[in-house]
Amino acid sequence: MKLNQVLLILGVVAVGAAALLFGAYSAASAPLPEGFPPPSADGSIEIKQYPEYRAATVQVTGDLEYAPSRGFTPLFRHISSNDISMTAPVETRYPTAMLQAGSASEGDASVSFLYRSLDIVPQEVAQNIQIEDIPPMTVVSLGMRGGYGLDTYTSGIQRLQDWLVEHPNYEVVGPPRRFFYDGPFIPDTLKRSDLQIPVQLNESSSAPSF
């Protein structure tokens, strides 16, 4: 086989693989809840506003590395039994102690599936599931690409803490959370997440400083 034919075949295979990968990546993108801003760009830190939303939440205790995966099964069972469509992201709220990089990796976390609309009301709610309406909030958000482990959380929370030191007109008003936008079948290099800290402007600040 001639070299140009080999290169042509390799080119077709590469394009096909890229198309399949892009298709899998796109298929993983479930719709966001109404009024939600899109994921932050990789490495971008920005202030984001979120509207009120409804969530089905399960409490998970133990190794925080596995909190999202441990919470997934009961939450998926909940939306399946109530015929509620899947949305993205899956939310994990971490203990307040996790605001500090290098903090303990054990504790209590809240893992939530978010409803598309506040109008959705489940008919059946298992004992371990809590339905809660989360009030509107302002967050400082870091867009991240890569695996969903606690190692990336630790590096990200340090970046947000450094940003807050540089922007003292904002104060922390809630525990950290992470939005996971993609499923486990997406390669780690393509997985998207937002790491966020709820904030508000200090009363002495009249305008944000960037």
In the chain the first and final C-alpha atoms are separated, in Å, by 59
Half-sphere exposure of 187 (CA within 13 A, CB side): 8
User: For residue 6, what are the CA distances in angstroms to 12, 15, 200?
Assistant: 10, 14, 59
Interval 9-17 mean pLDDT? 36
- Average pLDDT score over the chain: 85
Confidence (pLDDT) at 121: 96
The angle subtended at Cα 20 by Cα 16 and Cα 23, nearest 5°, is 135
pLDDT digits (tens, 9 = 90+) for 64-87: 999 999 999 999 999 999 999 999
User: Could you write out the DSSP letters of every residue in 90-149?
Assistant: EEEEPPGGGGSTT--SEEEEEEEEEPS-TT---S---TT-EEEEEPPEEEEEEEEES--S
Name residue 109's beta-bridge partners. 60
Interval 159-178 mean pLDDT? 96
How far apart (Å, rounded) are the C-alpha atoms in residues 20 and 62? Answer: 37
180 CB burial (10 A radius; 0-12, 13-18, 19+): buried
What are the domain boundaries of the chain? 1-30, 31-201
Query: What is the reported pTM?
Result: 0.82
Nearest partner of 100 among 50, 141, 161, judged by Cα = 161
CATH of domain 31-201: 3.20.80.10
Q: 206 Cβ partners below 8 Å, 6+ apart?
A: none
**Structure tokens that stand for 38 in this block:** 């899109």
Nearest partner of 74 among 29, 126, 32, 119, judged by Cα = 126
pLDDT higher than threshold 50 for residue 14: no
